[in-house]
Amino acid sequence: MRKQKNSRGCFLCGLENELSLKMKWYEDHQAHQVRSTVTVPDQFNGYPGVVHGGIVSAILDETSGRAVMLKNGEDALMVALKLEVTFRRPTPTNTPLTVIGWVIKQTASRAQVASEIRLSDGTLTAECKAVVVRPPREILDKWENEKPYWKVYDD
């Protein structure tokens, strides 16, 4: 599986952000999915031992959005226009989680995407469906200074 790029400042994948979860995604082209594993520490809980719903949503948002890179390349960045999250059961902190994202339907400027979080035994804790679109010009202009740091880093 091919590893996707990371940034330096992102909350989820930023390798220089001390608050980042430092997630890494890998492309499974046979399954048409992106995959990551993450263990969310207690500092991101809502209730003791349970990942805050906002953090769960952020993980699902990023993972589903990264799925568009499977077809359109590593610089095909999109942003969420709509995100619908369904929480199936509490997502535990300090537990390895598998996150999978895929494209449902895609055009040049938007995509319907989905993702899910599962425990190591396969139990589904949360899932999302989203619509992602190309970012507006003002977002892309700000991204120009970050591009040198948007790359595949060694593990």
What is the dihedral sign for C-alpha 150, 11, 38, 73?
Answer: negative
pLDDT in tens, the chain (155 residues): 899 999 999 999 999 999 999 999 999 999 999 999 999 999 999 999 999 999 999 999 999 999 999 987 766 889 999 999 999 999 999 999 999 999 999 998 899 999 999 999 999 999 999 999 999 888 888 888 888 888 998 87
Phi, psi of 26 (to 5 degrees): -125, 145
Residue 42: the pLDDT is 97
Residue 75: the pLDDT is 67
Sorted by sequence, the CB contacts under 8 Å of residue 111 that are 6+ apart come out as 67, 68, 78, 103, 104, 105, 131, 132
Q: What's this model's pTM, rounded to 2 decimal places?
A: 0.94
Cα separation, 118 vs 26, whole angstroms: 16
Residue 95: the pLDDT is 98
How far separated are the first and last CA of the chain, in Å rounded?
Answer: 14
Domains recognised in the chain with CATH numbers: 2-136 (3.10.129.10)
Cα separation, 129 vs 125, whole angstroms: 14
Residue 94: the pLDDT is 98
Q: Which of 67, 62, 61 is nearest to 128 (CA)?
A: 61
Residue 154: the pLDDT is 84
